[in-house]
């Protein structure tokens, strides 16, 4: 099992450019998440999905869009990149029974380091 994978690993964009980050998981998880990690701010949830075809806003959704056309994939899009979106982006997935805290766990990808100049 590869677990959670992310592409690309690194990317440099100019202000105004667009791009899509891809997250894939092979654990048959229903839930998937996109976070950004910034120094001093910790992990902040951008968007998440509780199943194929569903998406929901997290804490910092502005400037991002997402799609979950297939259960195993969760795409994060930046339509017009801004320097404030320079960050490390993490994808995660989990099973769909969070009430079972004894086994609940989010599995994270390796991250994508994005720089917007």
Q: Which of 71, 77, 111, 113 is the binder for other proteins (CB under 8 A)?
A: 111
Which residue in the set 50, 52, 65, 72 belongs to the binding site for other proteins (CB under 8 A)? 50
- Is the C-alpha dihedral spanning 38, 10, 18, 35 positive or negative? negative
31 vs 74 by CB, closer to other proteins: 31
- What is the rounded CA–CA span in Å between residue 41 and residue 7? 23
Burial class (CB in 10 A: 0-12, 13-18, 19+), 18: exposed
In this chain, which stretch among 17-25, 68-76, 77-85, 103-111 interacts with other proteins, using CB under 8 A?
103-111
Q: Where does this chain bind other proteins (CB under 8 A)?
A: 4, 31, 33, 35, 40-45, 48, 50, 58, 90, 92, 98-99, 101-102, 104-106, 108-111
């Amino acid at each position: 099992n590869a677990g959670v994978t992310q592409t690309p690993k690194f990317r440099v964009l100019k202000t105004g450019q667009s791009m899509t980050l891809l997250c894939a998981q092979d654990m048959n998880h229903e839930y998937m998440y996109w976070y950004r990690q910034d120094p001093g701010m910790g992990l902040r949830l951008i968007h998440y999905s509780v199943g194929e075809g569903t998406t929901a806003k997290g804490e910092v959704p502005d400037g991002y869009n997402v799609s979950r056309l297939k259960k195993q994939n969760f795409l994060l899009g930046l339509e017009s990149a801004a320097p404030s979106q320079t960050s490390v982006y993490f994808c995660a997935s989990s099973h769909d029974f969070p009430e079972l805290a004894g086994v609940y766990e989010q599995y994270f990808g390796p991250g994508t380091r994005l720089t917007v100049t």
